[in-house]
Homo-oligomer: A and B are copies of this chain.
């Protein structure tokens, strides 16, 4: 994981011809469309714009590359979630915005990919424990973020913040699944809109 800025002194040998975050971002699109198992290293390297040996040298084998990508995607998602939930407006408004942004992302053309964790990491869980562990970390982080937002809100304590977070997370899971199976963004938006008042009751 090297810094992409030029602030640090250059290292010894031949410089890299790529930026780590850019590679992970391009690789992500392939993993997100095809899933881990069906994505070939050739495709991944082609999408990243570099050769297989460079990929292997930089990230290790396919599983490690997937884990790097999943962490990269997950951390950015959690950061975005935190940012929206820390914004202004009522908790209902902020939660609605979270769903709106998620739906935009999950139904993005041309593939309606859904969420990388729910849509591609889950399937590998029984056969790739390391992937399962990272996916779990990320889902926990997402729920913790939601729980903090509910705890900081002025909602009643009766459904506890943790319970509300599980519920909000469940709605997100369902949106991700339905999006990947081809649901229309409009339908998902009305579904999310109908669930926000239930979660925040």
Q: Which A residues lie at the B interface, using CB under 8 A? A: 33-35, 37-38, 111-114, 118-127, 132, 135-136, 139, 159, 163, 166-167, 169-171, 173-174, 177-178, 180-182, 191, 194-195, 198
Using A35-B35, A35-B124, A123-B120 as known contacts, say yes or no to A132 and B191 having CB atoms under 8 A apart. Answer: no
Which residue in B35, B125, B195 is a CB contact (below 8 Å) of A167?
Answer: B195
**Bound-state Cα–Cα, A158 to B189, Å:** 19
Q: Are A180 and B120 interface neighbours, CB within 8 A?
A: no
Q: Is the CB of A38 within 8 A of B127?
A: yes
Which residues of B have CB within 8 Å of A174? 169-171, 173-174
In the bound complex, residues from chain B placing their C-beta under 8 Å from that of A113 are 126
Which of B112, B132, B166, B177 is A118 in contact with, Cβ under 8 Å?
Answer: B177
- In the complex, A108 Cα to B43 Cα: how many Å? 35
Number of copies: 2
**Closest approach, in angstroms, between the C-beta of A163 and any C-beta of chain B?**
6
15 contacts between A and B (CB under 8 A): A34-B37, A35-B123, A37-B37, A37-B38, A112-B125, A112-B126, A122-B123, A123-B123, A123-B180, A135-B181, A139-B178, A139-B181, A166-B194, A171-B174, A174-B174
Residues of B within 8 A of A139 (CB): 178, 181
Query: How far, in angstroms, from A113 to B125 measured CA to CA in the complex?
Result: 9
Other A-B contacts than A112-B125, A122-B123, 15 sampled, CB-CB below 8 A, are A111-B126, A112-B126, A113-B126, A122-B177, A125-B181, A132-B182, A135-B181, A159-B194, A163-B194, A167-B195, A170-B173, A170-B195, A171-B174, A173-B174, A173-B177
Which residues of chain B have C-beta atoms less than 8 A from A125's C-beta?
112, 180-182
